[in-house]
Amino acid sequence: MLPIEQLMERANANARLVHRGRFVDTRFLLEVGDDTYLVYVHAGRIEKIEKGPFVMPRWTFALRAAKEDWQEFWQPLPKPGFHDLMALVKFRRLRVEGDQHPFMANLLYFKGVMESLRTVEGAAA
């Protein structure tokens, strides 16, 4: 699995993805097993990623899943049921909490952001 911090570089390098998210201004919590991250998005670009643990985190929505589920999601060709955020939701592996409005209104964008950690290297680092 690539370090979560690479999410910023990879998502921002995709000009079409940034354009898709041009109206997105939000901060969301990403939970990867025991680790938590706050992802700050402005105008479709990830501006910073803070690593927890946090004392009093503020976020609009949270994406929470087990580390091994995210690991499979980020495989170059994930197994059926692990290949998409809504697939993870369907099988109760991903919980989407909080105010889901920005997430649902920009679903293709957030799918693209999370899939940007998917690499040919697969489970490295």
Q: Side chain identity at 118, as an amino acid letter? A: R
In terms of CB distance, is 67 or 90 closer to other proteins?
90
Give Cα 119 to chain centroid, integer Å.
14
Segment 92 to 111, residues that bind other proteins, using CB under 8 A: 100-101, 104-108, 111
86 near other proteins, rule: CB under 8 A = yes
State the minimum distance, in angstroms, from the CB of residue 41 to other proteins. Answer: 16
| Among residues 80, 120, 124, 125, the one that binds other proteins under rule CB under 8 A | 80
State the minimum distance, in angstroms, from the CB of residue 45 to other proteins. Answer: 19
| Among residues 30, 85, 113, 114, the one that binds other proteins under rule CB under 8 A | 85
Cβ-proximal residues to 63 (8 Å cutoff; 6+ apart), any chain: 28, 29, 30, 31, 85, 94, 95, 96, 103, 114
State the minimum distance, in angstroms, from the CB of residue 12 to other proteins. Answer: 21
State the minimum distance, in angstroms, from the CB of residue 48 to other proteins. Answer: 25
Rg of the chain's alpha carbons, rounded to an integer? 13
Count the residues of the shown chain that bind other proteins, applying the rule CB under 8 A: 20
In terms of CB distance, is 10 or 118 closer to other proteins?
118
